[in-house]
Structure 1
Amino acid sequence: MSALVWIALVSLVVWLWLLLGQGFFWRTDQRLPPRAELDVWPDVAVVVPARDEAEVLPLSLPSLLTQDYPGHAEIFLVDDGSSDGTGTLARALAERHGGLPLNVVSPGEPEAGWTGKLWALRHGMALARERGPEYLLLTDADIAHAPDSLRELVAAARGGGFDLVSQMARLRVASGWERLIVPAFVYFFAQLYPFRWINAARPRATAAAGGCVLVRTETAERARVPDAVRQAVIDDVSVARAVRRSGGRVWLGLADRVDSVRPYPRLGDLWRMVSRSAYAQLRHNPFVLLGTVVGLALVYLAPPLTCVVGLAGGGRRAAGAGGLAWLVMSGTYLPMLRYYRQPLWLAPTLPFTAFLYLLMTVDSAVLHYRGRGAAWKGRTYARPETAPEQS
C-alpha cells in the first residue's frame, strides 16, 4: 500500500479509538449531578477577580447580586489594579441593583512569583474566610449566572459529596469567527480532559473550568489553594489537581445557565485567548510541541487531505479511509455544535479550525521563546509554570 493509504488508515484507527476509548469526550451530557434538598443552606462567599472589566461588569455582576440563594452569601470583588474604573462601577451597580452584600477590595500589584489572577484570588479568599463560609464560589468577572446558579451549585456539591464542583460556562458565540472557533475550543478541552474520566468514582483525569468553581473552604485550605499553584497560567486545572491531591472529590461538566459575556468578535481576539496559555499546557517542552503538531496533523488534517488527494488521483482506498475518518470526526463534533446551537454543516470544517489551533499553539511557543510568554491585560509572564502534575 502507498504511504497515503497508510496515513489514511492510521488516522481512521485513531478516530475509531477516540470515538470509543477516550471517555466518550464528544458527548455533552455531563451536566450538574443530582441536587440535594437542604433544610439549612450553608454560608457562601463569592470571590470575583476583576482587572479592567468595566465593559462586561454591567452584564455579569447584577446576575450575582440578585442570586436567589436561601442561605447567607456575599460577594468579594477584587479590583486587580484596574485603570478603567472597575471598582467604582461595581459599587454603583450594587447600589442600583441591591441584593447580596458587595465588598470591593484591591490587593495591590502581585508579589514576585504570582500570576495576577491568583494573587487577586488569594486576597479575596483570605478576606472571605474571615466570615467563615462553608463554600467559596470562584467566578470570573465576565460570567453571568442564572438566578438559581448558586443554589444549584451548592445543592449539587452537597448531594454528590463533592469538594469542588465546576461548570464550564457557555462561551459567547455571535460573530463568524466565534462560531468557527469557540465550540471547537470546548470540544478540544473535553478531548484532553474527558469529563466522564474526571467525574468517575476512580478518576482518570482532573480539571476544572475557572469561570465557575465552587469549592469547600476547608478543602481549599487543606489543598493550599491558591498558594500551591501561585505561578500557574492554566489556573483552573491547577486548582482542581491541588484539590484532588489533597483527597478532595472533583466534578466538572457543561453549564446550562452560566454564560460568558466576554466578546471575541475578531480572529485576533480569539488567537490571543488561545496562544497566551497553549505552550504552558505543553509544559514549555519543544519535544511535546513537536509531538502535538504531528498529532494534530495526523488526527485532524490527514483525513480531509487523504480523501481529497485520493479522489483526485484515483486512490480509492486512501479516499475511502480518509473520508471515513473525516466522517467519524465530524460526527463527534455534532453534539458540541448542538450544545452551542450552531448549524450542523459546520462539523466538516473542524479540520480547518484545528489547523488554526495548530498555528496558535506554535505562535504561543514563539512568544514564549521571545520572552513575551503568557500576556493578559498588560501583564506578561515570561516563564510561567504549567499546571502541576497529578500525583
Structure 2
Amino acid sequence: MDVLLWITAVSGLGWLYLTLCHGWFWRTDVRLADPAPPPPGGVSVAVIVPARDEAEVLGDSLPTLLAQDFPGRAEVFLVDDGSTDGTGELAARLDTGQGAAGRVPLTVTTPGEPPAGWTGKVWALRHGVEAVGEVDWILFTDADIAHAPDSLARLVGEAERDRLDLLSVMARLRTHTRWEKLIVPAFVYFFGKLFPFRRVNRPTSRVAAAAGGCVLVRRTALERAGGVAVIRDAVIDDVSLGTAIKRAGGRIRLVLADGPERHVDSVRPYPALADLWNMVARSAFAQLRHSWLLLAGTVLGLALVYLAAPVALVVGIVGADPALALLGLAVWALMSATYVPMVRYYARPAVEAVLLPLAATLYLGMTVHSAVRHARGRGAAWKGRTYPAPAD
C-alpha cells in the first residue's frame, strides 16, 4: 500500500506539471484567425494530394478542393501513387465539367514506384512539387480531407498576414463509431502532449510539428529547407516536415480545425478497433526512433501517468485505505479535467473524460505491437508497402 501511495503521489506531481507547465497542451483554443484575413491579390497556390487506393473517400474530399473560393491562382494536383482501385480514374470523372463551371483546375499524375530510401507518400509529394512549377504556396493535403469552401483563402490569408512559412491544421477526425469516439479524441490529445501547439508556434522553441492532413508551406521556405528530399525516408512525414522548415529558420504554426461550418475534416472511416489500431501501430515505434530503450521508458511512463491513479482508487477502496483511495481519485480527477476540453471539442459528453486511462491502455498496446511488428520485419506497413527503420 505504501509503495502504491508513493507511486500515485509521483503521478499526481506529474499531472500538476503537465497541467500547469507543459505548454497548456490540453487547451483546444489554438485555431485559425476569426475573422479570417483576406489573401493578397495575385498569390498562387498549388494543392498536392498524394493518393494511394483512396477511391473509397475521394468522392467526399476532392470535390471540396475543386470548389475552393480562392481569389488568386490555384490548381489541384492529385498524385495517383500506384493505386489499384481506380483512384486516378475516379478523380478524372469527378473533375468532368468542373473547369467549365469556373472551379479549380485538376491535374492527375503518377510518380511511379518510389526508389530505395524513399517512403511512398514522400515520393508522391516530391513528384507533385516538381509538377507544379513556380507558385507562391503549396498545400499538402491528404486524400481523405474535406475542406470548407474558404479553407484555402483562410490558410493563405493568415500565413501571408503573419509572415509564416508553414501553417498546418490538425483536421477533425471522424467520431461516428464506438471505437472512434473512444480513441480519436485521445489520439489528438496525446499528439498535443507530445507537441504542445503553443510551443510549436513559438519561434524560440525547439518543438516543431505539423499535421499531415493539411500543411500549407511557402515554396521558397521548402526549397531553403532542402525540399521534400530532406524527409525522404520519413514515416511520420508531417512532423519531419515541420521540423525541417523550423530548423531552416522558418516560422511555423499548428492549429486545430474549426467547427463543422468551417471545416477541415477527415472523411476516412475507422469502423473497427483493428482499423484504429493499425493506424497508430504503423508509426508508433517510428515516433520512438525505433529505440527499444525509449519503448521501455514509454511503457513505464504511460503506466505511471495514466494507470497509477485508477489502480490506487480501486486498491484503496478494496483494501479500506481511504488515503490511497482519495489520492487516486484526486489524481484521476485532475487527469480527466485536462481531457475534458478535447472530449468537448469532439462534441462528446464531458463525463467520457474519465475513460482516458482506458484509451491510454489501448495506446500502450498499440505502441508495443508497433515494436513487435518491426521486430518481425513488418516495419511500418501501409497499403502494401513496408518500411524498415532508416539506416543510421
- The two structures have a TM-score, normalised by structure 1, of 0.96
Is the 2:172–2:265 Cα contact (8 Å) retained in structure 1?
A: yes
Counterpart for residue 168 of structure 1: 170
Counterpart for residue 355 of structure 2: 349
Partners of 1:385 and 1:213 lie apart in 2 by 27
What is the deviation of 1:312? 1.1
Map of 1:82-231 to 2, 5 A cutoff?
82-98=83-99, 99-128=103-132, 130=133, 132-231=134-233
Change (3 A) 1:280 1:385: farther
Q: Counterpart amino acid of 1:127?
A: A
State the Cα deviation string for residues 117-174 of structure 1 (Å, max 9, x = none).
000000001111x2x1100000000000000000000001011110000000000110
Partners of 1:294 and 1:78 lie apart in 2 by 41
Q: Which runs of 5+ in 1 are unaligned?
A: 387-391
SS of residue paired to 2:257: strand
What is the deviation of 1:19? 0.5
Partners of 1:29 and 1:141 lie apart in 2 by 26
Partners of 1:39 and 1:278 lie apart in 2 by 40
Is the 1:231–1:385 Cα contact (8 Å) retained in structure 2?
A: no
Counterpart for residue 234 of structure 2: 232
Partners of 2:185 and 2:253 lie apart in 1 by 21
What is the deviation of 1:315? 1.5
Is 1:81 aligned to residue 87 of structure 2?
Answer: no
Map of 1:321-336 to 2, 5 A cutoff?
321-336=327-342
Partners of 1:177 and 1:78 lie apart in 2 by 31
Change (3 A) 1:56 1:26: same
- The two structures have a TM-score, normalised by structure 2, of 0.96
Is 1:309 aligned to residue 315 of structure 2?
Answer: yes
What is the deviation of 1:225? 2.5
Partners of 1:220 and 1:39 lie apart in 2 by 20
Partners of 1:100 and 1:287 lie apart in 2 by 49
SS of residue paired to 1:295: helix
Partners of 2:216 and 2:391 lie apart in 1 by 24
Counterpart for residue 389 of structure 1: none
Map of 1:238-387 to 2, 5 A cutoff?
238-256=240-258, 257-384=263-390
Runs of 4+ in 1 over 4 A off after TM superposition: none
Q: Counterpart amino acid of 1:122?
A: R
Q: Counterpart amino acid of 1:372?
A: R
What is the deviation of 1:36? 3.5
Is the 1:115–1:233 Cα contact (8 Å) retained in structure 2?
A: yes
SS of residue paired to 1:55: helix
What is the deviation of 1:285? 0.6
Q: Counterpart amino acid of 1:268?
A: A
Counterpart for residue 13 of structure 1: 13
After the TM superposition, which of the residue ranges 26-35 and 347-356 deviates more from structure 2?
Answer: 26-35
Partners of 1:83 and 1:221 lie apart in 2 by 32
Is the 2:98–2:104 Cα contact (8 Å) retained in structure 1?
A: no
Is the 1:232–1:385 Cα contact (8 Å) retained in structure 2?
A: no
Partners of 2:374 and 2:76 lie apart in 1 by 36
Q: Which runs of 5+ in 2 are unaligned?
A: none
Is the 2:166–2:242 Cα contact (8 Å) retained in structure 1?
A: yes
Is the 1:78–1:104 Cα contact (8 Å) retained in structure 2?
A: yes
Counterpart for residue 71 of structure 2: 70
Is the 1:283–1:385 Cα contact (8 Å) retained in structure 2?
A: no
What is the deviation of 1:39? 4.4
Partners of 1:33 and 1:87 lie apart in 2 by 35
SS of residue paired to 2:140: strand
Partners of 1:305 and 1:248 lie apart in 2 by 45
What is the deviation of 1:384? 4.0
Q: Give aligned pairs, total.
A: 384
What is the deviation of 1:385? 7.1
State the Cα deviation string for residues 67-100 of structure 1 (Å, max 9, x = none).
0000010011000000011001001001154411
SS of residue paired to 1:56: helix
Is the 2:167–2:216 Cα contact (8 Å) retained in structure 1?
A: yes
State the Cα deviation string for residues 265-318 of structure 1 (Å, max 9, x = none).
100000000000000000111110000000000000111111110111112221
Partners of 1:259 and 1:206 lie apart in 2 by 22
Question: What is the CA RMSD across the aligned residues, in angstroms?
Answer: 1.3
**Taking every aligned residue pair, what percent have the same amino acid on both sides?**
59
Is the 1:11–1:322 Cα contact (8 Å) retained in structure 2?
A: no
What is the deviation of 1:321? 1.4
Partners of 1:138 and 1:301 lie apart in 2 by 38
Partners of 1:351 and 1:333 lie apart in 2 by 11
SS of residue paired to 1:28: coil
Is 1:32 aligned to residue 32 of structure 2?
Answer: yes
Partners of 1:96 and 1:212 lie apart in 2 by 26
State the Cα deviation string for residues 212-271 of structure 1 (Å, max 9, x = none).
000000011111121001000000000011101111000001011100000001000000
Is the 2:98–2:105 Cα contact (8 Å) retained in structure 1?
A: no
Is the 1:374–1:382 Cα contact (8 Å) retained in structure 2?
A: yes
